Amino acid sequence: MNSFWKNVTSVFAGVFIAQLIPIIGSLFIARIFIPEVFGDFSVWLANTTILATLLTLRFETALAIVEDGEKRVKAVFYTFGISLLISLILGISLLLLLLINKFVPLPFSINTTSFLLSIMGALALAGNQIWQSWAAAEGFYKKLTAMRLVQAVFLVVLQILLGLQAPNTMSLMAGFTISGLLSFLMILLLMPNIFKMHFIQKDGFRVFFSRYRKFPQYALPADSINVVVAQLPVVIIAYRFGNEIAGFLALTMRVMGAPIGLIGKAVLDVFKRYAVQDFNTKGNCKKLYLHTLFILTIASIIFIIGTIFLSETIFTVAFGKNWLLSGIMAIWLLPLFALRFIASPLSYMAYIVEKQHVDLVWQIALLVLTLFCLLFFMEYKSTLLVYSMGYAVMYGIYLLLSYNFSKGVSS
């Protein structure tokens, strides 16, 4: 366990800085952009994040269980190739729609710039996700840290610079897209070259797809639902209660998600490699799972206490008195974030034992519950409170499932 937590600490240090950068950036962004603009951008970002999930067909989540060496490098090649191909198809489709619209008016309007930025931003996000998953699978934690730092710095700097020139939604969208593309070009230098002609084989992709077909079959719809569910609160709150309330919620989600990004990502990056190794040698990873669960629970309790006593003060001091409601929302959403803090790093168990169909069923149930909570209550306070409690219950169920998976494939 010593090497496990040593690597977690190493990744945590990098993730801490990578997450601290956007938090510090938020101090400036919150003063440059009004809540309505931040709410509009959050809706666009939700769509772009969903698209990025679709581009990879979730093959990047399989990289940790692919054999070390050239097989994994080929897997990265195929996964990125898929993302690039789908992006090109979407881009060509956009051009065709614009061409058709010149001769036959379409029954719907297209914001060409927003749509194009979304495609490019999604491809950049997918590329960054693939390379980071690759680095984590190889145990290259220092390189993983560098990738995240580059991505965080570019995002914050560009959004602030563009916002100072024009504090509107387009500046936030452009900053996200350009920073994603620049960071992806930078991280290409950190890993081996995947663009080798001998990787283009007649049956290469067919064999790869056949072996890991459960990922697009089950993990893709499951993770797509997960991304949709994660973005639904901002989208539905904006629709029902206005962009201003959605803007407050978006900042809450961004700041409260930071601790999960800090510890959760660090634990996940190391946990999945060690868990795969335990399964290959022992047939289970129950001991590692319980040990990780215990540490995360302790950290979650500390997180709960800190949020209850400090959230309103932190939001008003850091972002200004205009953002007090975000601090209040943080307390309302505490059950959700506390359980997510524990469950998210351990969620990879479903992929390790290739029980993605179970994860899909859980995600569908979560989607139904989320829609009910967000649509059937009259005030935004009661809506968010019920949503938070319902989500926490679902995370409790997921923890029971993942613990059962840790006992072995036969479970």
Task: Check whether 109 has a pLDDT greater than 70.
Answer: no
pLDDT digits (tens, 9 = 90+) for 297-356: 988 898 889 888 888 888 888 888 888 899 999 999 999 999 998 898 888 888 888 888
d(CA 244, CA 35): 5
Interhelix angle 220-241/243-259, rounded to 10 degrees, is 140
Interhelix angle 356-375/220-241, rounded to 10 degrees, is 10
| One-letter identity of residue 275 | A
Task: Please report whether residue 411 resides in a domain.
Answer: no
134 or 202, which is more confident: 134
d(CA 245, CA 252): 11
Range of the domain at 327: 2-406
Query: Residue 3, CB half-sphere, CA atoms under 13 Å: how many?
Result: 4
User: Residue 259: what pLDDT?
Assistant: 67
What is the rounded average pLDDT for all residues in the chain? 84
Q: What is the DSSP string of 354-400?
A: T-HHHHHHHHHHHHHHHHHHHHS-SSHHHHHHHHHHHHHHHHHHHHH
pLDDT digits (tens, 9 = 90+) for 282-308: 888 888 889 888 888 988 898 889 888
3-state SS assignment for residue 162: helix
Task: Check whether 263 has a pLDDT greater than 80.
Answer: no
Task: Check whether 51 has a pLDDT greater than 70.
Answer: yes
pTM: 0.70
Task: Check whether 381 has a pLDDT greater than 70.
Answer: yes
Asked whether the beta carbons of 142 and 10 are under 8 A apart, the reply is: yes
Q: What length is written for the chain? A: 411
Task: Check whether 410 has a pLDDT greater than 60.
Answer: no
Task: Find the mean pLDDT for residues 156-185.
Answer: 89
Q: What is the DSSP string of 280-310?
A: HHHS--HHHHHHHHHHHHHHHHHHHHHHHHH
Residue with tokens 């581009």: 55
Sign of dihedral through CA atoms 213, 215, 220, 225? positive
Q: Is 233 left (phi over 0), alpha (psi -120 to 50) or beta?
A: alpha
Task: Check whether 385 has a pLDDT greater than 90.
Answer: yes
User: Residue 411: what pLDDT?
Assistant: 45
Closest residue by Cα to residue 132 from 18, 37, 38, 298: 18
C-beta atoms surrounding 281 within 10 Å: 9
Task: Please report whether residue 7 resides in a domain.
Answer: yes
Task: Please report whether residue 332 resides in a domain.
Answer: yes
Q: Which helix (H) or strand (E) holds 4?
A: helix 2-32
d(CA 218, CA 226): 12
Task: Please report whether residue 347 resides in a domain.
Answer: yes
8-state DSSP, 219: I
Task: Please report whether residue 52 resides in a domain.
Answer: yes
| Confidence at 199, pLDDT banded by 50, 70, 90 | low
Task: Please report whether residue 68 resides in a domain.
Answer: yes
Token digits of residue 387: 């949503």
User: Residue 108: what pLDDT?
Assistant: 60
d(CA 261, CA 21): 12
User: Residue 400: what pLDDT?
Assistant: 93
What are the Cα distances from residue 139, in Å, to 132, 182, 186, 260? 11, 24, 19, 21
Task: Find the mean pLDDT for residues 35-48.
Answer: 81
Work out how many domains the chain is built from and give that number.
1
d(CA 378, CA 385): 12
Token digits of residue 352: 């390790």
Residues of the chain with pLDDT > 70: what percent? Answer: 89
Token digits of residue 27: 């101090």
User: Residue 239: what pLDDT?
Assistant: 87
